[in-house]
Amino acid sequence: MPAETTTPPPVPEAAVPAEAVAPLIRGVRVLRELTEAGGTLSLSGLERATGLARSTVDRITSTLARMGYVRLDGRDAVTTPRLMELGNAYLAALRLPALLSPRADALADELDESVSLAVADRDGIRFIHQATRRRAMSLSFRIGDLLPAERTAPGPLFASEWTDENWRAWRERRAADPVNRGFSAVPPRELPFPDSEFEARAAQAGRDGWALDDQLIEPGLVAVSVPVRDPRTGRIACVANVVSHTSRHTAADLRDTLLPRLRATVAEMERELAAAPDPDPGPPPSGSAAWIGASKHELGREFIESLARGLTVLTAFGEGRAALTLTDVARATGLARATARRALITYEHLGLVRGQPESRTFGLTPRVLSLGFPPLSRTSLPRIAAPHLADLSARVGESTALAVLVSSGPTAEIQYTARAVSPRIMGVDIRVGTRLPAAATSLGRVLLSDPEDSAASAGFARVRSQGYALLDEAWEDGLRTLAVPLRDRTGRAVAAVNVALHAAGRTAEECVAEILPELRLTASRIEQELHAAGHFTRVPLL
């Protein structure tokens, strides 16, 4: 029999408002359970975790799949990078990652240690940026991970600004869950320390202007933090955090050797904030009411309109749109004011939106990052591409692959990083990790044809102009390949996808007429997810 687990008693929640949207509450619950499970959970597992009826779980996941937020893989629901657009809306509205991450990255390079930025989320903290070091023992958390304030270095700094109400809520949570079983990002603490210990650390942090974590999260992990203050209010906007291991530094070492450099970087960050111009909001997202209506017409009962409309409300926010009125939200989404209002009321109840009565505006909270962001923030391009390659292979009946350029110059090579093999008896089988001369492959040629000013691109002007490369039996008799580029958010070709087949299967003209449209559709779908994943995180290409 499986080992018995002890679930901590829940912290009492506020009563659900009468105008809250019940399907939206249930949909958010499903997304949070998927997040806690690492991004993948069976439908029956979701039924058990949420306490919802199986028919309700099926309808919710069907709706989320239609929106591109999950993928239904057999009996499993799997979150997709498209879901990150919800967290991206919060991070863009916050602006701190865009403004401060270059300073954090530079400090990580200088110190050769991991550096993170964190914000407060009630009585916990969430990371909004990570600059990690590549070592066998990697010390970092995922963007969006929630940690208890009392077991971190940033926590005492945020707590130094808590009100009596904040402290009361923290004590209630501690009483209900003294060992932090409700925080999946950290191991439970076997010997909880008394509340007075954290209260003393918060008071000390307020006096010193910095704080330490001496193995509070887990043995061996140490960190030092300094607050970055908002120049307009003087309050903490976020906290910069340097993380190390006791094999490299003790907590005292961090204080004595790294704290001065961290403080200097924080001073630069604060000057950056003070000098930052007002954001240009740009055009709001296009209204989606028509798309939602069409989906309901097509899928019928399996599509929950109120859930789709509610999730769309979150995407109305972004850079320059941190504080929106009800009218702003309705205009950006194409929803009726009454529909937008009920969604915002629901999100306030769930802690995803905070209302400002004096300005009659609404803004996203860090809790939006709990909707899929942490597990997805560690995705890679091969992982993003794999299901799309498999789908393409099934549609065209041929082998497909993803490759990146791994060297440049006359001996430039590509490396295969993902593939889907055709079920044909005679199929193309090139293993992941294989390297080939770039100029001799269709994958390499579309990569060498980009960018415009590249010396290598001069010999591939036709490939660049037509947007694809078709190669017949260039390096193996009977092999015909067709490739198109994959572009990142800046428009740079960072990878390529292809279809490979035996020349006897289709003529070159048939490949262009029949396969190229499907290949371009697949590339577009991969790019959409790559752009969502790469907005505030670095997506490894290998």
Which domains does the chain possess? 22-81+291-376 (1.10.10.10), 96-275 (3.30.450.40), 381-533 (3.30.450.40)
Place of tokens 């407060």: 120
CB 153 within 8 A of CB 211: yes
pLDDT band of residue 9 (cuts 50, 70, 90) is: very low
pLDDT of residue 478: 72
pLDDT of residue 410: 83
* CB neighbourhood size of 505 (10 A): 17
β-partners of residue 361 are: 356
Mean pLDDT check: name the lowest of 316-330, 409-423, 439-453: 439-453
pLDDT band of residue 536 (cuts 50, 70, 90) is: very high
pLDDT of residue 32: 97
pLDDT higher than threshold 90 for residue 13: no
pLDDT of residue 3: 38
Q: Which tops the pLDDT comparison, 284 or 161?
A: 161
pTM of the full predicted structure? 0.93
Residues 217, 222, 225: CA angle, nearest 5 degrees:
100
pLDDT of residue 285: 65
Q: What is the mean pLDDT of the chain?
A: 91
Q: What is the mean pLDDT of residues 510-528?
A: 97
pLDDT of residue 450: 85
pLDDT of residue 27: 98
pLDDT higher than threshold 90 for residue 542: yes
CB 89 within 8 A of CB 318: yes
* CB neighbourhood size of 351 (10 A): 16
- 120-158 pLDDT, tens digit per residue, is 999 999 999 999 876 555 566 899 999 999 999 999 999
Q: Where are the alpha helices (DSSP H) in 76-215?
A: 84-94, 96-111, 154-159, 164-176, 195-208
pLDDT of residue 346: 98
β-partners of residue 496 are: 403, 485
Ranges assigned E (strand) in 423-513:
435-437, 469-472, 479-487, 493-502
Q: What is the mean pLDDT of residues 150-170?
A: 97
pLDDT of residue 455: 56
